[in-house]
């Protein structure tokens, strides 16, 4: 069953809210900055959202204080998204809306801080005794409680594919009759775990990331919050966009290295196309995972060659936003939708010279084009892959 996307919003280093994000895209202005994250000494560039620290949580959820939840709240307040959710809740009833978010960090930044202030018995200081914060489901708990959503809520945490897989789960929930609407999305925030963690794997660049560039040398870590509201078409018939298909797979290769032939990526894309009932030639734009790691980008172009026998406009937008990990799926799905909304394909920022070894063309510059169908791909650690297909809801 096709679901329509009746509202969406995104907040990342390149912009708080859609209009700021689109402006950055048009102006080719990266949101990355030299690392100034407190407590992190690494020489790197990060995609840090402005003023997250200043966000005050509403009274009913103040006890869920964490930087990740502050970012979650900042994101919810953009683009009249809160109003859209409240209107949908009125229509379907609060038990008939679900929440499925993706995250990799959740609020571990808060746990990190708590561990610097353990008492003499190794236990957490009173201020940090927040059971609903120090666990993976914190963003889902936070969003559901902040918005008064009483339906089922779940967090998916499969590294970089997390907030793409949420669309698949939402489609299954609605089609099962469990709920009539699902708030999907993802929130990941900068924290020492991911900064030092990816650094320990030697995957981080000390410069702004350059996806698909011949001189690329690693990722730039970013943070983001993004959300979308999915419902049956009959509920919002004049909605612009729909989820046409999704595909999920595993690489079955290595925990931190993709399958050398891109086997899982190819499977995920093909499954999404089958579910959408479309041939690869129907896709007008692909938002690539394109992290700027030496290995991912090379393998991803190989996967694209296998699925797309005719050229298709394809780019990575991580030069604007950084790699937002658990939030990458939703952020890049929304960037794809925005491309369709504005008839403007974002190119690959920071890609000056695509690697000559690639057998697949990468779009570096922005390009005006009318898009009917877009695809967004997210390929994560542990070889967990998701591919999404979006189209115009004008059948």
The residues of the shown chain that bind other proteins, judged by CB under 8 A, are 40-41, 94-96, 104, 108, 111-112, 114-116, 118, 121-124, 129, 131-132, 134-137, 140-141, 150-159, 165, 169, 172-173, 175-178, 192-193, 196-202, 248-256, 263-264, 267, 380-384
Q: What is the distance of C-alpha 258 from the center of its chain? A: 19
Q: Which among 208, 209, 387 is positioned nearest to 286, based on CA atoms? A: 387
Residue 191 is a catalytic residue: no
Minimum CB–partner distance for residue 325 and other proteins (Å): 10
Closer to other proteins by CB, 116 or 238: give it. Answer: 116
Of 289, 302, 313, 351, the active-site residue reads 289
What are 238's two structure tokens?
A: 């004049």
Q: b/e for 244-283, b at 16 or more Cβ within 10 A?
A: bbbbbbbbeeeeeebbeebbbbbbbbbbbbebbebebebb
Minimum CB–partner distance for residue 180 and other proteins (Å): 11
Residue 254 is a catalytic residue: no
Of 12, 160, 209, 351, the active-site residue reads 160
Q: Which among 268, 258, 329 is positioned nearest to 296, based on CA atoms? A: 258
Residue 302 is a catalytic residue: no
Minimum CB–partner distance for residue 170 and other proteins (Å): 11
Closer to other proteins by CB, 111 or 287: give it. Answer: 111
Of 137, 259, 302, 323, the active-site residue reads 323
DSSP secondary structure, 251-278, as one string: --S-SSS--TT-HHHHHHHHHHHHHHT-
CA dist 11 → 73, 275, 335, 339 (Å): 10, 29, 11, 16
Closer to other proteins by CB, 245 or 354: give it. Answer: 245
Minimum CB–partner distance for residue 218 and other proteins (Å): 14
Segment holding 111, helix H or strand E? helix 108-115
Closer to other proteins by CB, 25 or 97: give it. Answer: 97
Residues annotated as catalytic are 160, 289, 323
């Amino acid at each position: 069953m096709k679901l329509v996307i009746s509202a969406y919003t995104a907040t990342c280093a390149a912009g708080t809210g859609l209009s700021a994000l689109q402006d950055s895209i048009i102006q080719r202005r990266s949101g990355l900055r030299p690392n100034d994250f407190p407590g992190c000494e690494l020489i790197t560039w990060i995609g840090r959202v402005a003023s997250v620290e200043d966000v005050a949580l509403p009274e009913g959820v103040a006890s869920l204080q964490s930087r990740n939840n502050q970012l979650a709240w900042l994101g919810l307040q953009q683009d009249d998204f809160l109003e859209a959710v409240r209107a949908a809740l009125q229509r379907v009833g609060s038990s008939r809306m679900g929440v499925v978010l993706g995250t990799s960090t959740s609020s571990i930044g808060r746990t990190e801080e708590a561990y610097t202030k353990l008492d003499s018995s190794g236990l957490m200081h009173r201020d940090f005794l927040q059971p609903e914060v120090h666990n993976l489901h914190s963003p889902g708990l936070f969003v559901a409680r902040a918005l008064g959503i009483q339906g089922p809520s779940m967090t998916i945490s499969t590294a970089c594919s997390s907030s793409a897989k949420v669309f698949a789960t939402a489609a299954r929930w609605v089609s099962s009759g469990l709920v009539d609407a699902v708030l999907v999305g993802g929130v990941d925030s900068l924290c020492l775990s991911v900064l030092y963690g990816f650094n320990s794997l030697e995957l981080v660049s000390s410069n702004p990331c350059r996806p698909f560039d011949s001189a690329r040398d690693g990722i730039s870590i970013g943070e983001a919050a993004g959300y979308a509201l999915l419902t049956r078409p009959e509920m919002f018939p004049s909605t612009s966009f729909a989820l046409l298909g999704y595909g999920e797979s595993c690489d079955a290769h290595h925990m931190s290295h993709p399958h050398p032939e891109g086997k899982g990526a190819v499977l995920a894309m093909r499954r999404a196309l089958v579910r959408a009932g479309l041939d690869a030639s129907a896709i007008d734009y692909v938002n690539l995972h394109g992290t700027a790691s030496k290995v991912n980008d090379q393998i991803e172009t190989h996967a694209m060659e296998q699925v797309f026998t005719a050229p298709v406009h394809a780019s990575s937008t991580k030069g604007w936003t950084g790699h937002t990990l658990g939030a990458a799926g939703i952020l890049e799905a929304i960037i794809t939708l925005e491309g369709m909304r504005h008839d403007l394909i974002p190119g690959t920022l920071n890609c000056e010279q695509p690697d000559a070894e690639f057998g697949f063309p990468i779009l570096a510059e922005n390009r005006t084009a009318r898009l009917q169908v877009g695809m967004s791909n997210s390929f994560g650690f542990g070889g967990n892959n998701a591919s999404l297909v979006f189209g115009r809801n004008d059948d």
